[in-house]
Structure 1
Amino acid sequence: MSATEVVHYMLTALFAAAAVHALRQGVPTRTRACRSHVDHLLHAAMALAMAVMPWSWGSALPELPLSVFFAAAALWFPLTAVRSGQERQLSATLRSLPYAVGMVAMTWMSYRAAGHDHQTMAEGVPTAHQTMHLSPFMGASKADNVVTGVLALYLLTCSLRSLTRDMPALRAITETADNSTSLKSVYHRFWDGATAMGTAVMLLMPH
């Protein structure tokens, strides 16, 4: 088993677990708004798509429809955050940006896959999924590399922020009597950070 396959297995396990988490959170309840339900379902759809993308049979996914779907999902988060009325518009938009950028990254990967498939059909070279061991930047334009690099850097920054934000307070959280809300927030930030990091890795890996 190659190192690339090991990473692919790890990413598949991560995104499969993230999809299960999002589906559990997306179950409708009396205390959860409809917007929150849709948010979690979009996260689950993204995680499921990401779980199969590293593998050759992931090429069966329709790239262009996926690009359109996740582009719409990227707009959903900031637009619904602004319209929710629960926070000031700027704060709500900033809080939704990591989710929106994650969907943009998914859109970008689907778009690149579709472009590679079309180039393959025209030139008769192996498909993107059959050239897994080539560098992700070989044959890509400088503009493609810049977009990929910016998205990956932003997601990595968001990931590190989510994963390290609560570290100094973990002991204090576990010692409080009423800690369910705090622990729940830590739990959600862990999944946000882990998913963002997995997405950044996927962006930088060949597809």
Structure 2
Amino acid sequence: MLTALFAAAAVYALRQAVLARGSGWRGRGDSLLHTVMASAMAVMPWHGMGGGPVPGRTTFFFAAAALWFPLTAVLGLRGPRLVGLVRRSPHAVGMVAMAWMPVRHGGVTDARTGDVVTGVLVLCLLAYALRSLTRDMPTLRGDPGSVGISTDLGGPCERFWHGSTAMGMAIVLLMHH
């Protein structure tokens, strides 16, 4: 199930990178990084079934990808920088989790430190997943006092994929724990 989820998320992110109009270089970069992350998560259960991935280039790539999100928020010219950092931090946490997995499974850290870091990442991912997946629920139900139902599914669709991917990553982190 997780492989199918991550493969579908990779296709969605790639579609966003290629077809999204007006997203600019930052949006395309975000989508390409999400494509790589979801693709890696899709093949992860089938690659290296023995001891998991070995720290190295994968860790370096995802650590650099984690820096992409806060750096582009600070360097962006739109809106307050703190708001940009807050909005982009869940994506950075997802990339940190991707960088962390090979380190954790490679036995580079002691058990207690590994448990703490894994626990913090899982909690952050779960909080983001729940926020993303439940954010549009009142709107979708059409509750009195809620925002009117929109035909633009871009926001809810994007939040669904980001939330589902975050939930899947939390599950994978816990499965390998």
What's the TM-score once normalised by structure 1's chain length? 0.76
From 58, 83, 108, the counterpart of 1:66: 58
CA distance in 1, matches of 2:132, 2:159: 5
Change (3 A) 1:187 1:174: farther
Cross-structure match for 2:27 = 36
* Separation of aligned partners in 2, 1:108 and 1:71: 8
- Aligned-residue CA RMSD in angstroms? 2.4
Q: Distance in 1 between matches of 2:41 and 2:20?
A: 27
Are residues 1:189 and 2:159 paired?
Answer: yes
CA deviation after TM superposition for structure 1 residue 32, in Å: 2.3
CA–CA separation in structure 2 for the residues paired with 1:29 and 1:153? 31
Please state if 1:46 is matched with 2:37.
Answer: yes
> Hey, what does 2:67 align to over in structure 1?
75
Instruction: Choose from 95, 102, 111 the match for 2:94.
Output: 102
What displacement does 1:52 show? Answer: 1.2
Partner of 1:54: helix, strand, or coil? helix
- Give CA-to-partner distance per residue, 1:27-47, whole Å, 9 cap, x none: 165522011111100000011
Tell me if 1:93 matches 2:63: no
| 2:116 aligned residue | 146
Return the alpha-carbon distance in structure 2 between the equivalents of residues 91 and 160 of structure 1: 20
Query: Residues 189 and 55 of structure 1: is their aligned pair in 2 closer, same or farther, counting only changes over 3 Å?
Result: same
Residue equivalent to 1:157: 127
Equivalent pairs, count: 173
What SS class does the counterpart of residue 145 from structure 1 fall into?
A: helix
Paired with 2:22 and 2:127, the residues of 1 have a C-alpha distance of 31
The unaligned stretches of length 5 or more in structure 2 are none
**Given that residues 67 and 92 in structure 2 are in contact (C-alpha distance below 8 angstroms), is that contact kept between their aligned partners in structure 1?**
yes
**1:72-95 Cα deviation digits (max 9, x unpaired):** 000000110121121201100000
Counterparts of 1:62 and 1:26, CA distance in 2? 29
Instruction: Please give the TM-score of this superposition, normalised by the length of structure 2.
Output: 0.88
Between the aligned residues of both structures, percent identity stands at: 54
In 1, Cα distance between equivalents of 2:147 and 2:85: 31
Cα separation, partners in 2 of 1:28 and 1:81, compared to 1, 3 Å? farther
Mapped partners of 1:62, 1:28: distance in 2 = 34
Pairs within 5 Å for 1:3-42: 10-27=1-18, 31-42=22-33
The answer to whether the 8 Å contact 2:2/2:42 transfers is yes
Partner of 1:125: none
What letter corresponds to residue 26 of structure 1 in structure 2?
A
Using the TM superposition, give the Cα deviation of residue 63 of structure 1 relative to its aligned residue in structure 2, in angstroms: 3.8
Q: List per-residue Cα deviations over 1:50-85 (Å, max 9, x = no partner).
A: 111112446796641000000000000011012112
**Residue aligned with 2:18, SS:** coil
Residue type at the aligned position of 1:99: H
